[in-house]
Amino acid sequence: MTPIPAPSPNFDVRKSPPDMIVLHYTGMQTGEAALARLRDPEAKVSSHYVVEEDGRVFTLVAEERRAWHAGVSSWKGERDINGRSVGIEIVNPGHEFGYRPFPEAQIAAVIELVAEIRTRWTIEDSYIVGHSDVAPDRKQDPGELFPWKRLAEAGHGYWVEVPAAPGQAIG
């Protein structure tokens, strides 16, 4: 995979190596609009990567730098999620603009990108999370249509299926 450079000025110094990956959806009507916002110095927001619906991957901030994607968030008692994570924005209009399933080419690219990131950094499965996991009171991305099971089957993250309870269903 060779990401397409699309540099963002919105980053600062990372104090330690990343040990998390945070997956987002862009929540904007187009990938072009998302790239423009993530690269706008006035917006003060960025990510390390953007994955388009056709599978193209853009790199905005070097993984060695601290991108600004998680906002007010926490995970396992830690609050500076931007300082410890690689942020991946997945192009999807989101719940506000017509949330839809993620295309096959896009998910294949996300899986490949996550695999590549994990060759460079020590990131445990339990530290591959959604934005909604680290900011549950204010975010819902990447949302219920994101194929977490598929990501886990590819060896990245967790998927737990709760077996159906035995007996007759009520209702």
Collapsed DSSP state (helix, strand, coil) of residue 135:
coil
Q: 25 near 143, Cβ under 8 Å?
A: yes
Structure token pair of residue 21: 């990956």
Q: Is 31 helix (H, G, I), strand (E, B) or coil?
A: helix
CA 144 from chain centre, in angstroms, equals 14
**Residue 8: how many CA atoms within 13 Å on its side-chain side?**
31
End-to-end C-alpha distance for the chain, whole angstroms: 50
**Helix or strand (DSSP H, E) at 112:** helix 104-120
Tokens matching residue 24:
């987002």
- The catalytic residue positions are 89
CA angle 20, 37, 49 (to 5 degrees): 30
Alpha helices of 121-161 — where are they, by DSSP H? 131-134, 148-153
